[in-house]
Amino acid sequence: MNNGAINEERFFIPVPEAERVSAVWTWPARPTIVMALAHGAGANMDHSFMQALAQELAAHDLAVLRFNFLYMEKKQKRPDPPAMAHRVLRLAWQVAHDRFPSLPLIAAGKSFGGRMASQSLAREPDNRVKALVFFGFPLHPANKPGTERAAHLKAVAVPLLFLQGTRDALADLSLLAPIVSALPNGSLATFEGVDHSFQRGKTNAVPALAKTASEWLFSLKFD
């Protein structure tokens, strides 16, 4: 684990024909992996969870790019249509790859952000992306169990890590676990007593999330 200085840099990612979105880099002195981390549906890239997660991941030698989706940049409540979300994701992946071209690029997202990333990769593979990490995959609406949102996952070719709380109302583990086990490239890590926001009373789950994600990533064999 890196105990050195963590750097941050704020900037904008141009979105052709749709203005721009805010973004921020968080990185250690010598990163070994670069991650593009998308936010969830209800909070932007500067939510305390996103900031803390980026700092913890950077302490594990990851360079982390956070960014807003367009609707969040415009302070709108309704999430972007998938096509626009996918577009912003791919622009962010390009920015991350261009900044650290020699490092493995990892797509990641909290809830909505992760689901949009997997949808995009299922529809159009991107050889820049070497793995995908879900910080809470939203399998179904709250307390309405179903599996339709997972139908596309079998079309994603890269390794997938699902980090899920056992009290997540958006992911019944009795449904999600067999889905992940059936994926040839899927892995599941659960966090006892944690909800979809990765909260359990006053317990801070972020260090454990970052540690689990980084250890899994470092176990992979990248091209």
Per-residue pLDDT reduced to its tens digit, 48-73: 999 999 999 999 999 999 999 999 99
Tokens of 158: 């890269």
29 SS3 class: coil
Q: Which residues of 212-222 are buried (b: 16+ CB within 10 A; e: fewer)?
A: bbbebbeebee
Q: What is the band of 3 on the pLDDT scale with cuts at 50, 70, 90?
A: low
- The pLDDT, as a whole number, for residue 64 is 98
- The pLDDT, as a whole number, for residue 143 is 83
Tokens of 220: 């992979």
**Least reliable range by pLDDT among 51-55, 114-118, 154-158, 195-199:** 195-199
What is the mean predicted confidence (pLDDT) over 131-159?
A: 97
Alpha-carbon distances, residue 14 vs 6, 8, 67, 89 (angstroms): 25, 19, 11, 12
- Give 5-53 pLDDT, tens digit per residue: 899 999 999 999 779 999 999 999 999 999 999 999 999 999 999 999 9
Measuring CA to CA, which residue among 43, 213, 23 is closest to residue 111? 43
Beta strands in the chain (DSSP E): 7-14, 20-27, 33-38, 62-67, 105-110, 129-135, 160-165, 186-191, 199-200, 203-204
- Give 71-118 pLDDT, tens digit per residue: 999 999 999 999 999 999 999 999 999 999 999 999 999 999 999 999
User: Is pTM beyond 0.85 here?
Assistant: yes
